[in-house]
Amino acid sequence: MKQTRLILVGGFLGAGKTTLLWETALRLMEKGLRVGLITNDQAPELVDSELLKLSDLRVAEVSGSCFCCNFNGFTDAIKAIRAEVSADVIIAEPVGSCADLSATIIQPLKQYWNAELRISPLTVLADPNRVASILEEGNSGLHPDAAYIYKKQLEEGDIILLSKSDTLTAEEVASMRRRLSATFPSATVLSASALTGGEGLDEWIDAVLNRQDAGKRLLEIDYDTYAHGEAVLGWLNGTLLLHGASENWDDFLKSLMVGLAAKFDETGCAVGHVKVIAENGKRFAVGNLIGKQDTLSLRGSAGAGEDLKLIVNARVETTPERLDEMVREVLLLTIGGKYKEEVVAWRFLQPGRPSPTHRFTEIVGS
């Protein structure tokens, strides 16, 4: 069987990984390449998988723990995609609160999967929304231990990709790239937009399709701080159906997102990422919140109809129980007795201490 190119895209919650995966997959497929995607989360019921599947992409999901703590689950997903679609390229997105990927994923893959895979440099996304604060030794509104994870993620990137470059001026992009290069001199620093026009995207794609210098450094990371940085985030994944007619499901999604944003701001709970997909058959809309209310964005359209499928993924600095309470309260208020809700799945949890399957202490030659 041929070798598959594996591209791992890390970076903090909401940094733009899934959007980049999607846009990249489409571009690669246009070139005639066979592409598979792997998503990852602490629990099932993922907005990311749902979103990617809606565009008919082959998506495998590793849920229940991160790639590093379930290395065999990750390699099973790789095996399945290679067998099913004979993939030329697999793009994988680890959990946004995950770090130490070089030691726990890239080196073991180089050691044990060298025949099957050609591994691209580890890409870590730096989101303009947070990166300036982090470079100034700030915490971007996050708990210091969560901000620690962000910093460690950047530190191990072979490529640091300044994401969402369309939200910055050309001068701001150039200046931020210079600052990133100065702080992380051994990384290649690039920038790209995965949305408007895809500025810089082809340069990054070219790098990850052709380079093979993956995992050039190993992090020094304090697992107590890392574990605490993950544990300060409550995690909620829920799927529900709303029965009843609506003229415009987009209004419903908007009210829900505005309500959630207001709730988290009022209660002083820092948002990692809250994403909601509202699906009405083939039509869908997505709401994203990656910080305070002013980061709220809505796109797509779910239109009018009888029934809505709603998937909610929330990662917010609070206890899982409190997160569950807050999300339920805002949901019920938004539903306002107009629709009948049917809960398909509902989980809330606190991520456990990371316990990687492998953790290499030496760089494996490629």
Ligand X SMILES: Nc1nc2c(ncn2[C@@H]2O[C@H](COP(=O)(O)OP(=O)(O)OP(=O)(O)O)[C@@H](O)[C@H]2O)c(=O)[nH]1
Give the interface with ligand X as residue ranges (CB under 6 A): 11, 13-19, 48, 96, 163-164, 166-167, 193-195, 273, 275, 288, 290, 297
- Among Mg ion, ligand X, none, residue 164 binds (CB under 5-8 Å by kind): ligand X
- Indicate which single residue of 18, 102, 129, 193 sits in contact with Mg ion (rule: CB under 5 A): 18
Q: Between 20 and 242, whose beta carbon lies closer to ligand X?
A: 20
Residue 313 is a binding residue for Mg ion (CB under 5 A) = no
Contact criterion met (CB below 8 Å) for 214 and 158 = yes
Q: Between 91 and 310, whose beta carbon lies closer to Mg ion?
A: 91
Interface residues for Mg ion in 41-80 (CB under 5 A)?
A: 48
Residue 97 is a binding residue for Mg ion (CB under 5 A) = no
- Among ligand X, Mg ion, none, residue 19 binds (CB under 5-8 Å by kind): ligand X
Q: How far is the CB of 209 from ligand X (least distance, A)?
A: 19
Q: Between 123 and 288, whose beta carbon lies closer to ligand X?
A: 288
Q: How far is the CB of 61 from Mg ion (least distance, A)?
A: 12
Q: How far is the CB of 11 from Mg ion (least distance, A)?
A: 9
Q: How far is the CB of 114 from ligand X (least distance, A)?
A: 28
Q: Between 18 and 65, whose beta carbon lies closer to Mg ion?
A: 18
Residues in the site for Mg ion, rule: CB under 5 A? 17-18, 48
